[in-house]
């Protein structure tokens, strides 16, 4: 690392390249957190839950409200840390509960309906959430208080890795690790994988499929809630429309990585973050969105199941 930094100091161009890698990975991990929610739900019931991005938006609104109530903007360091953990937990719980509720009320009654029906309902839920967001906080962009120091943790000014960037890693990495352990090694995780593979067979083996689906929605929702808090603290702006764009990127990340595949969603998120930051540096800011989707199309031509996707089940 030290030699890297020394190189960064002598070579401006290389420092900028490294800086864009840092930028790309931090925003990419945010996309990844949301993408996991898409991919888990798709993996288990083959539904593209278009409301997921807007769930994330509502989570960030809750976080903003809680930050105001708890007075975190003026809290001392210790209180701030404790407060933020509380906000994180509450936001995760809120999004998990909301996601489960939507599954119960909207998607579960449509479980045996043709695939397009729940898909269209998901778009409907997305509009309902946006409407709620609009009533809740209004239409304008809102500043999310700058609670964390923007201090550079690296010695050299040529390269910045700030406390905020570190915070993104501190939240995303353990969550992803925890999720992997959960899905791989617990009974419920095993049941989830079984349901994803074949719901009918899983039911025959005595797995309570509806409960497993509920757990999946809860986990996906809670990750969106975590992403919402991290997003607020890192990007510092929330608005009722933020779910759309972030949801679109996250969904793209899920497809890029191979929809239904958890590590794929994480990889896809980070790849999109990197395409955005490096594209902005070397191609031009206005091309970044086009670039993301161009790369997606090219990739899907050569690897139709995504970067890490292996299964080729029928897609919606």
Question: What angle, rounded to 10 degrees, do the helices at 12-45 and 262-282 form?
Answer: 150
Which of 58, 188, 52 minimizes the C-alpha distance to 107?
52
Contact pattern from residue 167 through residue 206 relative to other proteins, giving x for each residue in contact according to CB under 8 A and a dash for the rest:
----------------------------------------
Residue 314 contacts other proteins per CB under 8 A: no
Tell me the closest approach of the beta carbon of residue 110 to other proteins, in angstroms. Answer: 23
How many whole angstroms separate alpha carbon 75 and alpha carbon 70?
8
Residue number, 145 or 263, with CB nearest to other proteins: 145
Residues 6+ apart with CB under 8 A from 99: 37, 52, 55, 217, 218, 220, 221, 224
Residue pair 57/238 in contact (Cβ under 8 Å)? The answer is: yes
Q: Is 152 in the site for other proteins (CB under 8 A)?
A: yes
In the list 236, 295, 299, 307, the residue contacting other proteins (rule: CB under 8 A) is 236
> Which string of x and - marks every residue 289-308 that binds other proteins (by CB under 8 A)?
x-------------------
Using alpha carbons, select from 272, 261, 266 the residue that is nearest to residue 299: 272
State the Cα–Cα distance between residues 67 and 215, nearest whole angstrom.
28
Beta carbon nearer to other proteins, 52 or 164: 164
Answer for which of 11, 143, 186, 197 binds other proteins (CB under 8 A) is 143
12 binds other proteins (CB under 8 A): yes
> In this chain, which of 79, 109, 177, 286 binds other proteins, going by CB under 8 A?
286
Residue 283 Cβ vs other proteins, minimum distance, rounded to whole Å: 11
- What are the strands, taking DSSP E only, across 198-298? 237-238
DSSP state of 286: G
The CA–CA distances, whole Å, from 170 to 164, 186, 226, 282 equal 10, 24, 12, 29
Hey, is 218 helix, strand or coil?
helix
**Structural tokens at position 247:** 């949801």
- Of residues 81-140, those binding other proteins (CB under 8 A): 127, 130-131, 134, 139-140
Identify the residue among 23, 29, 121, 261 touching other proteins (CB under 8 A): 23
Asked if 241 touches other proteins (CB under 8 A), the answer is yes
Does the protein bind other proteins through residue 269 (CB under 8 A)?
no
In angstroms, what is the minimal distance from the CB of 120 to other proteins? 15
* Binding of residue 39 to other proteins (CB under 8 A): no
CA dist 304 and 293 (Å) reads: 14
Nearer to other proteins, 242 or 308 (CB): 242
Instruction: Decide: 192 and 198 in contact? Cβ < 8 Å.
Output: no
- Binding residues (CB under 8 A) for other proteins: these are 12, 16, 19-20, 23-24, 27, 127, 130-131, 134, 139-143, 145-146, 150, 152, 157, 160, 162, 164, 235-237, 239, 241-242, 245-246, 276-281, 284-286, 288-289
């Amino acid at each position: 690392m030290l030699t890297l930094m020394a190189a960064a100091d002598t070579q401006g161009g290389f420092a900028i390249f490294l800086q864009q890698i840092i930028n790309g990975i931090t925003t990419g991990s945010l996309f990844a957190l949301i993408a996991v929610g898409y991919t888990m739900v798709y993996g288990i019931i083959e539904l593209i839950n278009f409301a997921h991005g807007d769930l994330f938006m509502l989570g960030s609104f809750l976080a903003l409200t809680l930050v105001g109530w708890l007075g975190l903007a003026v809290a001392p360091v210790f209180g701030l840390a404790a407060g933020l953990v509380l906000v994180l937990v509450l936001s995760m719980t809120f999004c998990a509960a909301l996601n489960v509720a939507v599954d119960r009320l909207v998607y579960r009654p449509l479980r045996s309906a043709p695939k397009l029906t729940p898909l269209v309902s998901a778009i409907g839920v997305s509009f309902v959430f946006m409407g709620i967001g609009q009533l809740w906080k209004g239409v304008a962009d809102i500043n999310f208080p700058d609670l964390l120091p923007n201090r550079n943790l690296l010695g050299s000014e040529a390269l910045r890795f700030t406390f905020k960037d570190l915070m993104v890693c501190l939240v995303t990495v353990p969550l992803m690790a925890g999720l992997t352990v959960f899905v791989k090694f617990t009974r419920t995780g095993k049941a989830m994988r079984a349901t994803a593979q074949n719901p009918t067979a899983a039911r025959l083996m005595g797995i309570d499929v509806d409960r497993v689906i509920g757990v999946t929605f809860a986990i996906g929702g809670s990750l969106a809630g975590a992403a919402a808090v991290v997003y607020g603290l890192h990007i510092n702006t929330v608005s009722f429309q933020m779910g759309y764009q972030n949801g679109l990127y996250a969904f793209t990340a899920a497809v890029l990585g191979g929809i239904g595949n958890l590590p794929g969603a994480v990889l896809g998120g980070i790849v999109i973050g990197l395409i955005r930051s490096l594209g902005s540096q070397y191609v031009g800011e206005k091309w970044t969105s086009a670039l993301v989707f161009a790369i997606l199309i090219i990739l899907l031509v050569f690897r139709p199941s995504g970067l890490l996707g292996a299964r080729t089940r029928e897609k919606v």
